[in-house]
A and B are shown apart, each in its own frame.
Chain A
Amino acid sequence: MSTAAETAHPAVPRREGRDRARQQRRAVTSAPWILLAPFLALFALTFIFPIIAAVGSSFTKVTRSGLFGETGVHSGFAGFENYARALGDGSFVASIGRVLLFGMVQVPVMIALCTVLALLLESASAKWPGFFRAAYFMPYGVPGVIATILWSFLYVPGLSPLVDAAGSVGLTVNFLGPDTVLWSIANIVTWSYTGYNMLIVIAQLKAIPSEVYEAARVDGAGPFRVAWTIQLPLIRPALVLTTVFSIIGTLQLFAEAQVLQTVAPAVNSQYTPNLSAYTTAFAYNDYNVAAAQAVLIALAAFILSFTFLRFTNRKSS
């Protein structure tokens, strides 16, 4: 009698149920995206977009027509023209070579120095470790520009007591000459960042459990033996981290060279890669070539850090 109605009726709730389940499934899959949206939007806008904009700008060529560009400004795809111009600029290539030389000398010196300071301050016989830790770290709080002005008082002949003292014993020193100014900058950078790197190493040293030291002492290990076979291998991750940061920092040299320009004739407007990109962008208005230079600097930092990490990983395995 009512078989048709009975069979038709349960079908409606079944379809409704299926719809609801589908809706629920859709809600479950979209909920994380809705919740992630604010983060993703900010991440894309502040992180991904600037990189894409810089890379895009490095492949763009702007052509102006008319005497003052009044008949139109046209931008188009430039291919690798901007990169060719950046790499064809002898001063820019020279600046990369200069910071590579700087890094090869300054980074190992600074890392060795910060490791020695950290080991000394963490040794049992250290006097006033808290005071010296703060004292060594203090230069990190001095901005690069101020540090350079401060040091230039010790570099400039006529102002510097160091130059005068050397002169009184018959030595002629020129901290700002064409061959020496790079090492004068290295001295400022080492002064500024050794304490900071030392703190990272100290943090890792403090994480070594005391049982290891006790076991070493029971075995009759002296302080040098403890430093060499226990502390140095265990602070390896901190040393790798500080070295990578220092390599990246070397390629970012800017303020020291720019400030020393006013007192050192040997520092030109393209002394470091960053200074070169800055000059190209804001003195020459060649924003696209400057973008190409910036991308090249970032690539160099990436390749150098990656090579160093690969090298240290291979050595440890």
Chain B
Amino acid sequence: MDWSWWPVTTQSFNILSDGFRRKASGTSFVDTVVAAEQQIMTAFRNKGLTIRKEQA
């Protein structure tokens, strides 16, 4: 079975890390977290998984 546990863990870390690295060129951490949420959801869907955003 070639399936990794929590399929996008590494990708989520990379998305957050790449976003936080943009702090050097002026993007704020808060903006990064908001953008990362969307990107992680896209990554889930690209893997054929379902994901929905919880409403607070």
Contact = CB atoms under 8 A, between A and B. Distances in A.
A178 B18 CA distance: 13
Q: Is the interface of B mostly helix, strand, loop or mixed?
A: helix
A178 B24 CA distance: 7
B14 A279 contact: yes
A270 B10 CA distance: 14
Contact of B11 (A63, A69, A177, A283): A283
B14 A283 contact: yes
A138 to B, nearest CB: 34
A283 B10 contact: yes
A177 B4 contact: no
A177 B10 CA distance: 25
Interface string B16-46: 0110111111000000000000000001001
Contacts of A178: 24-25
Contacts of B56: none
A266 B24 contact: yes
Contacts of A187: none
A285 B7 contact: yes
Given A269-B14, A283-B11, A285-B7, A68 B1 contact: yes
Contacts of B25: 178, 266
Contacts of B8: 284
B24 A265 contact: yes
A265 B2 contact: no
Contacts of A218: none
A284 B2 contact: no
23 contacts: A63-B48, A64-B3, A64-B48, A69-B1, A69-B2, A69-B3, A70-B1, A85-B46, A91-B18, A178-B25, A265-B20, A265-B24, A266-B21, A268-B17, A268-B18, A269-B14, A269-B17, A270-B18, A279-B14, A283-B10, A284-B8, A284-B43, A286-B46
Interface of B: 1-4, 7-8, 10-11, 14, 17-18, 20-25, 43, 46, 48
Q: Which 10 A-B pairs have the closest CB atoms?
A: A268-B18, A178-B25, A69-B3, A283-B10, A284-B11, A269-B14, A265-B21, A265-B24, A178-B24, A68-B3
